[in-house]
Structure 1
Amino acid sequence: MPIPVDIKVRICILLQFLFFFEPLFSQKEDISDYYKIKKNYENSLENDSTVLPLVQKFINKARHEKKYVKLVEGYKDGLLYSHSSERKLKYADSALWAAKLTKDDKLIGRAHTSKGIVYYFNLKKYNPALNELLIAYDYIRKSDDQYYKNKVAYLLGVVKSYIGYYEEALAMFQQTKQFFEEEAAKDQHPNLVYGNKRGYYNSLHQMVVCYRNLAHQKLADSITDIALSGIGMDEDYLQERGYFLKEKGISLFYRSDYINSLKSLQEAISCISPVNDFSWMTLCYSYIGKTYKELGNSDESLRYLRKVDSIFNTHHFILPEARSSYEILINHYHDKGDIQKQLYYTTQLIKVDEHITRDFTYLSSKIHREYDTKRLREEKILLEQKVHRAMWLNRILYILAVVLIVYLLFRYRREHQFREKYRLLEQKILSGGTHNIIDQVTEGAENDSGIEIRIRDDILKKLQEFEEKFEFTESGLTLPKLAIRFDTNQKYLSSVINESKGMNFNRYISELRISYITKKLYNERKYLHYKIETLAEECGIASRNNFSDLFFQINGIRPADFIKKRLADLNKEGKDDGGMY
């Protein structure tokens, strides 16, 4: 039955529609593919490096398809979930490279922002951080993206705050706080609300830091209380809660409320440590150490103050505010009379001051120092002299004593083992049983190989003659060669040797050769003066190393040691060179 005309027209229209919108469907499928990968890790915690294989899958797909916008997204995900600061920087560099391929100013600016964040937050390198953020701001200000403009302004404020320009930084934080607060109140996607709330709380935190350093503690306390009340126990803002608990703990410390200060600071550490913000963790450790000192708990005080030093050794960074930890440690060990630890922390404080001068040029001149650099260096020299006078001689004597004891023990053990092995070997030689292969043939041994007795006996007779004439000393001897010489086949010869001698052909020849040369070394003094290479050739072994290894495997001692001991025995006996004994 023919298809009606109107149906044909509808089919044509449908086919044209599908053909025209095929790219859209393909694009939707592509996006769906990226989403399928990303949904497996997008809700993971920051710094969770276990999801990086999934992120790499996302990156590989984007790189293969040359979708550079997606590639930027993938590299930024890698930055987010990497735990290592160095790896974060690599991902930031890759994101910047991919962003430049898009030729999108907004993406390029954001990539510079990400790199700046890694520099200041993870690596604490403020000069390169400032450089990246200024470049980012130059790109972002061309766009109408107010969120990113304020984000970069916030980051610039952070850098200014770190280096001590608190009033300038405070003005920037007041601006960003207002923007993020207004944006967070809007009816938006949950991800946008989350980002704006974080911007709001982080701006508040930095305002608190600025107010505290500008000696406006009441304002700082008021903002801290507002922020903690707003965050509550919301796990989405655990990091931000930690920052405000840190500020609360510091404020309580200066109000001499040491018990509550400890509680607040320790809770702050549990919130901050998952993101590895070691700069603020160091400050928490410093104040906890000082708090325990005020409470009279010296052991706990020292434990936390040493954590400050541990982080400094790992990251080569410390906030100026934590510098006093070293002064406390120096004074403590001075009072205890522990010169070595006093010297160590004096040296560390000199290093700390060098880093503070480099990283916080403006602040370094404003820090109250109980120990200035000149005095520290003078004390270090005096301490070093005391340590050298008190410890140098004892240290040398101790090391020499340990080395001597270890050497004597090693030598005694080695000599004892060697003498025992040599004695056993000598007994075998004197009894005529030193690996005597001929003696190993058992009369009437069972014929398990299935070889005719006549053939077997003929091979055994030829083997005996082979041993007695020392034909095994021929170099390059192999199973095929010996089988031809015995007028038999390899299989028969190998079976007879395995059955009658209890070993394979190679081991059989090695035993004969080593037994032969061992007897020569023991009975004929001239052999004791031969080089190892000559001894190897004498018994048919081509390699010096192979000879030495086989001699050790079979006799239990090295040929050089055997020769040395045999010569010593002969000298004790007063025997002359040459001849048979």
Structure 2
Amino acid sequence: MNAQETYIDARKKYEMYEQNDDSALPIVNKFIYKAKSEKNYEQLAQGYEDAFYFSSNPNKKLKYADSCIIASLKTDNNDLISRSYLGKGTIYYFNFKKYQPALSEYLKAYEYSKKGSDEYQRYKIIYHMGVVKSYLGYFNEAVKHFKECISFFEPKTKGNYHPNLIYNNSKGYLNSLHQATICYRNLSNFKKADSLVQVGLQFTSRTKDFPLEKAYFTKCKGILEFHQKNYVEAIGKLNSALPILKKNNDFAWTSVADFYVGKSYLGMGDQAKAIRQFEKVDSIFQKHSFIVPELRENYELLIKFRKEKKDYKQELYYTNNLLRADSILTKDFPYLSAKIHKDYDTQILEDAKIKLENQNHWSLRAIFLLVFVVGILLFTTWKLYKKEKNIRIKYSELKVKLLNHQKSEPLISYENIPQKSKSVISKNVFADLEKKLDQFEISKNFKENGLTLPQLAENFGTNTTYLSEYINDVMGVNFNKYLSTLRINYITELMYNDSKVLGYSVQGLADECGISSRQNFSDLFLEINGIRPTDFIKQRKKELESGVISLS
């Protein structure tokens, strides 16, 4: 481009290209070269923003976004700086589904937006904060963000505005409608969700400018049809949305759509097709290491199916994948929850405090009390969430052990016991105790309530010294620990495999395995299994109920 050509004229040469069309980049690079040579940093930032818009490579998008931020920081334009950080955050969110770095960029964008005057920019940030809250499961909070955005964007989707402004506000409006639909669905307000879907489908049917947004609403309609048990209609809607989602590399919503196609097939009784869909969801997770919380059930169903087929190798494979998914969610959620509330929500409270103080509406004491109460509520919510996640992880780890059918084996043979023990126990005594203890475990005589070391020694026709020495040296624990482990392992397997046992009281479970005290049983269960028996029962019942509903 020549030196006399304006930046507006230069951008007109590529503005008709579609997003992610690399063929626009040579023209964009000429724009960047002109801005760089003239040290026009505002236009240079615009050029890099255009570059990451047209680039189809996510990694290159990030590089262009970094260059955009560097250029914008050389200006005094806070709105431009805010927009450049938001752009990078959007790439992390949409192209990588990496919420932690996305949130970090959103928060930077928010800080600069407070110093700027661009309302459109501010509402884009409000929208993206809502997306993070929705991912975290704070649907009531998130939907407030999207309602704000709908009220701002919708009036600007028509009227005497520039076509580009109408297009941008229409995208903001449609995406806010879509995210609000997701929130209402998760809040089980299906009537409200369906009404928003109809609005979105009517809007996108009037123009060909928003194929991806139309696919989002079609996908939502399919999920709502599933909840109404209209399985054929659900599959039709979801399958019509999937090609567009895949074309745009939206692997997150692709996996959700695949999952609900599978659930619909289950509802129709076609388990084979359902399982193939669930395996597609697993393949997406393996490729991108991303999962949304509602897709945990995908693995619970696969595990249930493989267990019914007695395919223990695949059951273990999917159990390990579920553990990996849980570890990703566990890592993401506390960070995101704390970060968004501390750096965004609390900051909004602080901003409101300053504004209110200036207007003399609230006293300083009331503001501090509000912040304190919010802090307590957030801390309590985080603690409860952390506890629940830990229970689920411990249950999954315990389940893997149960599936592997692990049995306590002697740690050492007679030849390897300490020399001082050999002076106490002869080889013949050792072999005799080994045989009798093995039979003791097989016959489950350890369930006898009040069993003591002297009593067991008498039953074996030996003395307490020999028996105690053998258990300490061979099993690596004392008699009480050995007996407790046998009892807890026995009752745990029984609880996992026999659903009737899940109806026992804690005292009933204790009696069943030979432990007299309810509290002692609960403490031993926690010590050995890492989880309380009541929590194990809740998780197992939830798992069984899910399996019965989905696979019956």
Deviation at 1:379? 3.2
State the distance in 2 between where 1:298 and 1:366 align.
34
| Alignment partner of 1:373 is 2:393 | yes
Instruction: Say if 1:178 and 1:76 are closer, same or farther in 2 by CA, change over 3 A.
Output: same
Among 268, 277, 282, the residue aligned to 1:309: 282
State the distance in 2 between where 1:300 and 1:78 align.
42
**Corresponding residue for residue 59 of structure 2:** 86
Please give the TM-score of this superposition, normalised by the length of structure 2: 0.60
**Corresponding residue for residue 31 of structure 1:** 7
**Corresponding residue for residue 280 of structure 1:** 253
Deviation at 1:101? 1.8
Instruction: Say if 1:189 and 1:159 are closer, same or farther in 2 by CA, change over 3 A.
Output: same
List alignment gaps of at least 5 residues for structure 1: 1-25, 387-581
SS of 1:119's equivalent? helix
State the distance in 2 between where 1:162 and 1:178 align.
22
- For the aligned residue pairs, the C-alpha RMSD in angstroms reads 2.7
Does the 8 Å CA contact 1:164/1:360 hold for their aligned counterparts?
A: no
| Amino acid corresponding to residue 302 of structure 1 in structure 2 | I
**Corresponding residue for residue 231 of structure 2:** 258
Does the 8 Å CA contact 1:320/1:356 hold for their aligned counterparts?
A: yes
**Corresponding residue for residue 306 of structure 2:** 333
Does the 8 Å CA contact 1:320/1:367 hold for their aligned counterparts?
A: no
| Alignment partner of 1:169 is 2:145 | no
**Corresponding residue for residue 351 of structure 1:** 324
Does the 8 Å CA contact 1:252/1:261 hold for their aligned counterparts?
A: yes
| Amino acid corresponding to residue 257 of structure 2 in structure 1 | C
| Amino acid corresponding to residue 380 of structure 1 in structure 2 | V
| Amino acid corresponding to residue 294 of structure 1 in structure 2 | G
Does the 8 Å CA contact 2:68/2:84 hold for their aligned counterparts?
A: yes
| Alignment partner of 1:154 is 2:154 | no
State the distance in 1 between where 2:282 and 2:23 align.
30
* Higher relative contact order (CA closer than 8 Å, sequence separation 6+): 2
Deviation at 1:232? 1.0
Considering only CA atoms, is the larger Rg found in Structure 1 or Structure 2?
Answer: 1
State the distance in 2 between where 1:321 and 1:197 align.
29
SS of 1:236's equivalent? coil
**Corresponding residue for residue 190 of structure 2:** 217
Does the 8 Å CA contact 1:253/1:261 hold for their aligned counterparts?
A: yes
State the distance in 2 between where 1:313 and 1:328 align.
17
SS of 1:29's equivalent? coil
Does the 8 Å CA contact 2:150/2:177 hold for their aligned counterparts?
A: yes
| Residue deviations 1:505-524 (CA, integer Å, cap 9, x gap) | xxxxxxxxxxxxxxxxxxxx
SS of 2:39's equivalent? coil
Instruction: Say if 1:52 and 1:301 are closer, same or farther in 2 by CA, change over 3 A.
Output: farther
State the distance in 2 between where 1:98 and 1:242 align.
35
| Alignment partner of 1:321 is 2:294 | yes
Does the 8 Å CA contact 1:47/1:275 hold for their aligned counterparts?
A: no
Deviation at 1:83? 2.6
State the distance in 1 between where 2:8 and 2:265 align.
56
State the distance in 1 between where 2:8 and 2:395 align.
66
Does the 8 Å CA contact 1:318/1:352 hold for their aligned counterparts?
A: yes
State the distance in 2 between where 1:116 and 1:133 align.
6
State the distance in 1 between where 2:7 and 2:59 align.
31
| Amino acid corresponding to residue 375 of structure 1 in structure 2 | Y
Does the 8 Å CA contact 2:79/2:121 hold for their aligned counterparts?
A: no
**Corresponding residue for residue 294 of structure 1:** 267
Does the 8 Å CA contact 1:69/1:98 hold for their aligned counterparts?
A: yes
| Residue deviations 1:29-70 (CA, integer Å, cap 9, x gap) | 2437734xx62x432322233443443343334323333222
**Corresponding residue for residue 46 of structure 1:** 19
State the distance in 2 between where 1:328 and 1:149 align.
42
Superposed, which structure 2 residues align to 1:52-63 within 5 Å?
52-63=25-36
State the distance in 2 between where 1:269 and 1:367 align.
36
State the distance in 1 between where 2:196 and 2:110 align.
28
| Residue deviations 1:493-513 (CA, integer Å, cap 9, x gap) | xxxxxxxxxxxxxxxxxxxxx
Instruction: Say if 1:351 and 1:32 are closer, same or farther in 2 by CA, change over 3 A.
Output: closer
Instruction: Say if 1:250 and 1:367 are closer, same or farther in 2 by CA, change over 3 A.
Output: farther
| Residue deviations 1:303-337 (CA, integer Å, cap 9, x gap) | 22112111111111101111111111111111122
| Alignment partner of 1:227 is 2:247 | no
Instruction: Say if 1:266 and 1:360 are closer, same or farther in 2 by CA, change over 3 A.
Output: farther
State the distance in 2 between where 1:206 and 1:215 align.
14
State the distance in 2 between where 1:27 and 1:189 align.
27
| Amino acid corresponding to residue 84 of structure 2 in structure 1 | A
Does the 8 Å CA contact 2:3/2:34 hold for their aligned counterparts?
A: no
| Amino acid corresponding to residue 10 of structure 2 in structure 1 | Y
Please give the TM-score of this superposition, normalised by the length of structure 1: 0.58
| Amino acid corresponding to residue 298 of structure 2 in structure 1 | S
Does the 8 Å CA contact 2:51/2:61 hold for their aligned counterparts?
A: yes
**Corresponding residue for residue 195 of structure 1:** 168
Instruction: Say if 1:323 and 1:50 are closer, same or farther in 2 by CA, change over 3 A.
Output: farther
Instruction: Say if 1:340 and 1:45 are closer, same or farther in 2 by CA, change over 3 A.
Output: farther
Among 52, 68, 71, the residue aligned to 1:98: 71
| Residue deviations 1:342-394 (CA, integer Å, cap 9, x gap) | 1111110100111122223469949999x9433322332354569xxxxxxxx
Deviation at 1:185? 2.5
